Chains A and B, each alone.
Chain A
Amino acid sequence: MKNKIITVIFIGYIFAIFILNIVIKDIDISYSERRYLTKLSKITITNIFNGTIFDNFEDYATDQFVFRDNFRKLKVYTIFKVFNEKDYNNLYIDDKYIYKIEYPLNINSINNFTNKINFLYEKYLDGMNVFYSIIPDKNYYVDNNYLKIDYNKLFHIVINSMDKNISYIDITDCLDISDFYYTDAHWRQERLADVVDKISANMNFNITNNYQISSYKPFYGSYYGQILINSSIDEIKYLTNNYIEKATVYDYSSDLVKVYETEMLGSVDSYDVFLGGATPLIEIYNNGASTNKELVIFRDSFASSLAPLLIDGYKKITLIDLRYLDSDLLNEYISFSNQDILFLYNTTIINNSNVLKINVN
C-alpha cells in the first residue's frame, strides 16, 4: 500500500508541476530578487548545436518555476531553522533588522580609497572647502556575535591617511540602528535631521528643518527579497518643503526633473524615489535660493536621500557617483572653482573601493 502511495504521489507531483510550469504564464520581473527573469529563447538550429538553447532552458526552468518565491522562502527557513546556520548568503536577521555581513576588513581597499580621494583633491580640488564624512553601515550599530569589520581600525586608517586639508565630519553619533530601514542597507531620510545639522554646522550653511512628510508602504528593501522570511516591512517616507518642491533636477543620463521620482514607489526598488536611483551625475537647482553657494557631493546611494535635505543651503548641488562616472571625465562635465565639496561614502564602499572609477596613475 505504501509503495502504491509513494508511486502515485511522485508521479502525480512531478506531472502536476510539469503541467503547471507549462500552463502558467511566464513572469517578466522578480520584484523580490530585483531582476528580470529568464525567458525562453526561440529554438533555432544554430542555438541547438551551439548549446545556448539548453543553457537558456536551464535558466528558464529555474527562473519560471511555479511558486518560486515560496520555494526560495522554504530554503531560507531550512537553512536557519533546520541547519541553524547563522547567515544566509551573508544576510542575517537580528531583532527585525536584516543585516549584511561585511567582512573581512580590507586594508588595501581602505588605503586605496584614501589614495583615490587624495588624488582627486590634488588634481581638482586644491584650495577649495573640502569635507568628508563616513556613513557606517548597519552592522556598526549592533552588538552581536556576527562577523563584522573592525570599524575603529577603518576610521583610524581613513582619518590618518586622508589629506589634512580635507576636513572630517564625524556623523557616527548622529545615527543609531533605528535610523536605518529594516529590510534595506540605507538610512531613513526622515531620521537624518541630526546628520544634516552636523554637516551644515561643519560646512557652515543654513538649513530650515521644516518638512511635510509623505510616505509609501510597503517598501521591500534590497535585503528583503534575498532572505524573504523577515516579517518586518518598511515604510518609505520622504520629506518635502518649498525649496524641494520648487527645485529642478538635471540628470545627465535620463530625463529626470523632480527630486522625488514618485513613480518609482512600488517599483523594483522604491528607494529610487530619491533622485531616481543610481546615476553618474545629477544637478539639483534651488530655484528659491537666497545664496549663490554651490555644493558638489562625491557620493554613493546614501546621498540620494540626504541631498534633498541640503537644497535650501545651496543654489546648486551636484551629485557625482564615481562608481558610474570615470574621474578622468570630470572636467568635461564640471568646472571646479569655489564650490563646497563633500565626499560622502558608506563603510561598505570604503572596504570595497575598487568600485570607484578613479585612476590614480
Chain B
Amino acid sequence: MVFSSITFIYYFLPIVIFCYFIVPKKFKNFILLLCSLFFYFFGEKEYIVILLLSCLINFFSAIIIDKFPKCRKIFLILAISFNLILLGYFKYTNFLIDNINKVFNSNISLLNIVLPLGISFFTFQTLSYVIDVYNNKVKADYNFINFTCYVALFPQLVAGPIVRYSDISSELRDRKVTIDTFSSGVKRFIIGLTKKVIIANSIGEMINILNILDNPSVLSYVIVAIGFTYQIYFDFSGYSDMAIGLGRMFGFHFPENFNYPFISKNVTDFWRRWHISLSSFFKDYIYIPLGGNKKNNIITIRNILIVWLLTGLWHGATWNFVLWGLFFGIILIIEKYLLKKFLNKHVIFSYIYTFIIILISFVIFNTENISDTIKFLSRMFALSNIPFINDVTMYYFKSYFVLLLISIISATPLIKLIYNKCQKVNHFIFDVLETIVLFGLLIINTAYLIDSSFNPFLYFRF
C-alpha cells in the first residue's frame, strides 16, 4: 500500500484513526503495530516474517548488550552482522553473482530474490538502534511491542525518513496528540501528497513521453534531465512530508529529510539538504567512526570515498549507483580541497555549478548503465548529432511549461516566504484561504488518484 492511493487515504487511514483514538492510551502502540503490520502485509505478503525476525533479533540483542556487559561486544557484532547479511542477501547477492560471472566467465544462475519493501530503511533503523544502545546513547527498550512499533511504524516503514530510536523513544512511551499537532500533520500530509501526486507523477508522465520520442533533440534531453531531478525531489520529499505528517497525526515527531536542496550553493551544502536522515546516518555511523576529518588528508579522502561508495550502493546494486556515489565523493573532495573558497566568492557561478552537478548526478542515477549515461550526457550537452530543438520537443515544452515552472518555484522557499508574509498581513482571511486551498488540493489529489495509471514511488526500489 502506498500513501498516495485511494485505499490508504479513504479506507486504511480512517480505520486507523478511528481505532487509535478510541482505544485507551496503553493500547495505542499495539493498535499502531497491528495496523503497521497489516500495511506491510498488504504490499509484501511473504516478507512480513523477515520484518518480524529482524525486530526480534535486534530487540533481544539490545537487551543482552544492555544487561550483560561481558557479552555486549559480541552481541553488537552479531546484531550488525545479522542486519548486514540480511540486507546483503536480499539486495546484493545477484549483483555479486552477476559480477563473478562477468569476471570469471562463469555461469552461476541468478537467484530468484525479490527485495523486501523498505528493507534498506528498517535495517538502517535497527542498526542505528543496537549501535546506540552499545554506545549508551539510548537505553534498550524492554517492551517488544514498543520496539516493534518503532521499527514497523507504517508512516516511516517503507521509504523513511530513517528515524533513529533516540528521535522518538520518549514518544513511544508517552505522547500527546493535540489539535495543533494533528492539524499540522494533516497540512504536511496534504502538501506531501500534492508534491507526489500532482507534481512528481505529472513530471514522470512528461519524462515517459519524451524518453520515447522518435526524433529527440538536445532540448528534449535537457528537459528530461531537469524533469527527473525535480521528479525525484518531489517524489521523495513528498513521501517524507506525508510520513512526517502522518507521524504527527499520531503524536510522533520524525526528523526532517529535505531542506530546499536546489538552493544549495555547493554540493556539500546540497547533501546537508537532501535525504538528510541518510547522510546523517552515514556521517554518524561510518564517517566519524572511521576517523572523519580528524586525521590526515589521505585518511579523510579515504573516509569520504568509503562513505560515498556505500551511499551509492545503498541506493541500488548496480554499477551506475556506485558511479553515482563515487561521483559525489570526488566532487565533495574537490570542493573541500580546491573549490571551497572560489565558490564562496562567486555566488551566482556557485548556484549554476551546483545545479549542473546535480543534473549530471541524476542522469547517472536514472540511466541503466554507464554507456547509456555517456550517451545521454553527450546528447544533453549537444555533443552528438541531434538537432538542438524541433517541433515535437517545442510542443511538449510548451505543454508542460507551467508544470515545470510550478515545480521550479515550489522547490524554493519562495512559497514559504509568501506564506509567512501573508500571515502577518491579515491573519483571518489568510487562515480561511489556507483552509480552502488545503482541502481543494486534497480533492484535486483525489481526482488525480482516481484517474491515474502512473503512480510509482521512485524510492521504493531502494
Binding site for B on A (CB under 8 A): 1-7, 9-11, 13-15, 17-18, 21, 49-51, 54, 57-58, 61-62, 65, 68, 71-72, 74-75, 78, 82-87, 103-104, 145-147
Q: In the complex, what distance in Å separates the CA atom of A205 from the CA atom of B438?
A: 67
* B450 interface hit (Cβ, 8 Å): yes
Contact of B450 among A5, A9, A71, A147 (CB under 8 A): A71
Contact B43 A54 (CB under 8 A): yes
* B331 interface hit (Cβ, 8 Å): no
Minimum distance in angstroms from A342 CB to a CB of chain B: 32
Main secondary structure of the interface of B (DSSP, over half): helix
Identify 30 residue pairs between A and B in the complex whose beta-carbon atoms are under 8 Å apart, listed by A's number: A1-B431, A2-B183, A2-B434, A3-B184, A4-B179, A6-B183, A7-B186, A9-B435, A11-B17, A14-B17, A17-B10, A18-B10, A18-B15, A21-B11, A58-B5, A61-B7, A62-B6, A65-B10, A65-B450, A71-B447, A72-B451, A75-B447, A83-B402, A84-B399, A85-B402, A86-B398, A86-B399, A104-B214, A146-B395, A147-B392
Q: In the complex, what distance in Å separates the CA atom of A184 from the CA atom of B438?
A: 37
Which residues of B38-59 are within 8 A (CB) of A? Answer: 42-43, 45
Contact A75 B451 (CB under 8 A): yes
Which residues of B389-436 are within 8 A (CB) of A? Answer: 391-392, 395, 398-403, 406, 431, 434-435
Minimum distance in angstroms from A198 CB to a CB of chain B: 33
* B386 interface hit (Cβ, 8 Å): no
Q: In the complex, what distance in Å separates the CA atom of A83 from the CA atom of B205?
A: 14
Contact A78 B14 (CB under 8 A): no
Nearest opposing residue in chain B for A50, CB measure: B45
**Knowing A4-B179, A104-B215 touch, does A68 contact B450 (C-beta < 8 A)?**
yes
Q: In the complex, what distance in Å separates the CA atom of A60 from the CA atom of B380?
A: 42
Contact of B399 among A51, A58, A61, A85 (CB under 8 A): A85
Contact B14 A18 (CB under 8 A): yes
Binding site for A on B (CB under 8 A): 1, 5-7, 9-11, 13-15, 17-18, 42-43, 45, 179-180, 182-184, 186-187, 198, 202, 213-215, 391-392, 395, 398-403, 406, 431, 434-435, 438-439, 442-444, 446-452
**Knowing A9-B439, A83-B202 touch, does A14 contact B10 (C-beta < 8 A)?**
yes
**Shortest Cβ-Cβ A-B pairs, 3 listed:** A3-B183, A86-B399, A75-B447
Q: In the complex, what distance in Å separates the CA atom of A7 from the CA atom of B439?
A: 11
Contact of A71 among B1, B186, B400, B446 (CB under 8 A): B446
Contact of B179 among A3, A72, A104 (CB under 8 A): A3
Nearest opposing residue in chain B for A65, CB measure: B450
Note all chain A residues with C-beta closer than 8 A to B449.
62
Minimum distance in angstroms from A349 CB to a CB of chain B: 19
Note all chain B residues with C-beta closer than 8 A to A62.
6, 449-450, 452
Note all chain B residues with C-beta closer than 8 A to A9.
435, 439
Q: In the complex, what distance in Å separates the CA atom of A13 from the CA atom of B45?
A: 31
Contact B180 A74 (CB under 8 A): no
Note all chain A residues with C-beta closer than 8 A to B187.
6
Minimum distance in angstroms from A146 CB to a CB of chain B: 7
Q: In the complex, what distance in Å separates the CA atom of A86 from the CA atom of B394?
A: 12
Contact B435 A72 (CB under 8 A): no
Most-contacted residue by chain B among A5, A15, A83 (CB, 10 A):
A83
Contact B45 A51 (CB under 8 A): yes
Contact B7 A72 (CB under 8 A): no
10 new A-B contacts at CB < 8 Å, known A61-B10, A74-B447, A75-B444:
A2-B183, A6-B187, A14-B9, A57-B7, A61-B5, A62-B452, A71-B451, A75-B451, A78-B444, A147-B392
Note all chain A residues with C-beta closer than 8 A to B15.
18
Note all chain A residues with C-beta closer than 8 A to B186.
6-7, 10
Note all chain A residues with C-beta closer than 8 A to B184.
3
Note all chain A residues with C-beta closer than 8 A to B11.
18, 21, 61
Minimum distance in angstroms from B114 CB to a CB of chain A: 12
Minimum distance in angstroms from B392 CB to a CB of chain A: 6
Contact A49 B435 (CB under 8 A): no
**Knowing A5-B435, A7-B182 touch, does A72 contact B392 (C-beta < 8 A)?**
no
Nearest opposing residue in chain B for A17, CB measure: B10
Q: In the complex, what distance in Å separates the CA atom of A78 from the CA atom of B400?
A: 13
Contact A7 B179 (CB under 8 A): yes
Contact B399 A14 (CB under 8 A): no
Contact B10 A72 (CB under 8 A): no
Note all chain B residues with C-beta closer than 8 A to A75.
444, 447-448, 450-451
Note all chain A residues with C-beta closer than 8 A to B431.
1-2
Q: In the complex, what distance in Å separates the CA atom of A29 from the CA atom of B224?
A: 38
Q: In the complex, what distance in Å separates the CA atom of A24 from the CA atom of B289?
A: 59
Q: In the complex, what distance in Å separates the CA atom of A6 from the CA atom of B442?
A: 12
Q: In the complex, what distance in Å separates the CA atom of A104 from the CA atom of B449?
A: 29
**Knowing A9-B439, A78-B447 touch, does A87 contact B6 (C-beta < 8 A)?**
no
Q: In the complex, what distance in Å separates the CA atom of A40 from the CA atom of B260?
A: 43
Minimum distance in angstroms from B283 CB to a CB of chain A: 36
Nearest opposing residue in chain A for B21, CB measure: A11
Q: In the complex, what distance in Å separates the CA atom of A61 from the CA atom of B189?
A: 20
Contact A6 B7 (CB under 8 A): no
Q: In the complex, what distance in Å separates the CA atom of A5 from the CA atom of B454?
A: 33
Note all chain B residues with C-beta closer than 8 A to A57.
7
Contact B402 A84 (CB under 8 A): yes
Minimum distance in angstroms from A36 CB to a CB of chain B: 17
Contact B439 A13 (CB under 8 A): yes
**Knowing A5-B435, A58-B5 touch, does A49 contact B45 (C-beta < 8 A)?**
yes
Note all chain A residues with C-beta closer than 8 A to B447.
71-72, 74-75, 78
Note all chain B residues with C-beta closer than 8 A to A84.
399, 401-402
Contact B180 A3 (CB under 8 A): yes
Note all chain A residues with C-beta closer than 8 A to B42.
54
**Knowing A6-B438, A50-B45, A71-B451 touch, does A65 contact B399 (C-beta < 8 A)?**
no
